Amino acid sequence: MNTLTLIIGLLLTVAFVLYTKKVATKTFSKKSTTILATIVAPIVILFLAIYTTAHSVVRIAMIGNPEILTDTVKKLEENERKKQMEAAKDALKNISAEDSKYAPIVGNPDGKVVVYEFYDYNCGFCKRGHAALNEVLEQEKDVKVVLKSFPIFPPSQIPGRAVIAAQMQGKANELHQALFSTNLIPEQNDKASEKDVNEQIKAIVFGAAKKAGLDVEKLKKDMENPAVEEEIIRTRELATKLGIQGTPAFIIGDQFFRGFIEAPAMMEAIKQSK
């Protein structure tokens, strides 16, 4: 491929020189033609030679030492992670009560340490993170948890909206616990429309809500409250500022964690935040 590139470049250069000598003289002065043929042509040849040689050297180096490419990719990924973490740190400094004005709260509402939990009810790692956080809350009584429903999977949008509305009954934790222990994905039916699927999900959610002791009719009305939509928008905006693209994610005090973390790691972060 490199040899072919060089040959093509040389042929183009020769054609250019012939053009300037035999054709361009009819339009340009002899002096201008000489400049084009003696200065521009060598520059073109030199550029092609350097480009082709450099391309060959890099290609040979990559073939003989593939770890160079691997190390380069790792370095780029590491730099990107650092940039994301720096952006996240800046975003953490600017989090205010307004970012969670209508968010469901569990744990101790007056807790000194504030934990933000970004989750999806159909995310396996979120379920593990939820269990780990429950374990922590059994031991730590001075922790306020702000629930941030951040649906990645479409079936999680309705339950996410429901738990925000449940806060208006003071039963967000009851529904939150129930939804994480409920299969929220309806039975597969290729003929079912999106509306049918959503109705099935609602039936599952409202069934779980009833078992958890919520007023289901009030829950249905509260899910249409503008405050619920505002909380959903605020969560998305905060997630964007933090660079969150998946779940789970946790903010513990002034520390930010992407992905699942075990209960001991949560405990340590809480202790550091006291």
117 and 183 co-located in one domain: yes
53 and 125 co-located in one domain: no
Q: Give pLDDT, residue 13.
A: 56
154's tokens = 């479409």
Q: Give pLDDT, residue 24.
A: 47
Q: Give pLDDT, residue 113.
A: 93
Q: Give pLDDT, residue 186.
A: 83
Q: Give pLDDT, residue 52.
A: 60
Look at residue 81 and tell me if it is in a domain: no
Look at residue 84 and tell me if it is in a domain: no
Q: Compute how many other C-beta atoms are within 10 angstroms of the C-beta atom of residue 245.
A: 12
Single-letter code of the amino acid located at 89 = K
Q: Residue 154: what are its φ and ψ, rounded to 5°?
A: -50, -40
167 and 242 co-located in one domain: yes
Q: What is the CATH number of the domain that holds 111?
A: 3.40.30.10
Residue 233 and residue 251 in contact, taking contact as beta carbons nearer than 8 Å: no
Look at residue 73 and tell me if it is in a domain: no
Residue 214's domain comprises 97-273
Distance, in Å, from the CA atom of 94 to the CA atom of 254, rounded to the nearest integer, reads 11
Distance, in Å, from the CA atom of 119 to the CA atom of 259, rounded to the nearest integer, reads 10
31 and 113 co-located in one domain: no
Number of domains in the chain: 2
Sign of CA dihedral 90, 92, 94, 98: positive
Look at residue 182 and tell me if it is in a domain: yes
44 and 127 co-located in one domain: no
pLDDT < 70 regions, the chain: 1-91
> Position of tokens 């505002």?
230
Look at residue 91 and tell me if it is in a domain: no
46 and 104 co-located in one domain: no
Distance, in Å, from the CA atom of 36 to the CA atom of 44, rounded to the nearest integer, reads 11
116 and 245 co-located in one domain: yes
Degrees to nearest 5, angle at CA 239 with 102 and 222: 25
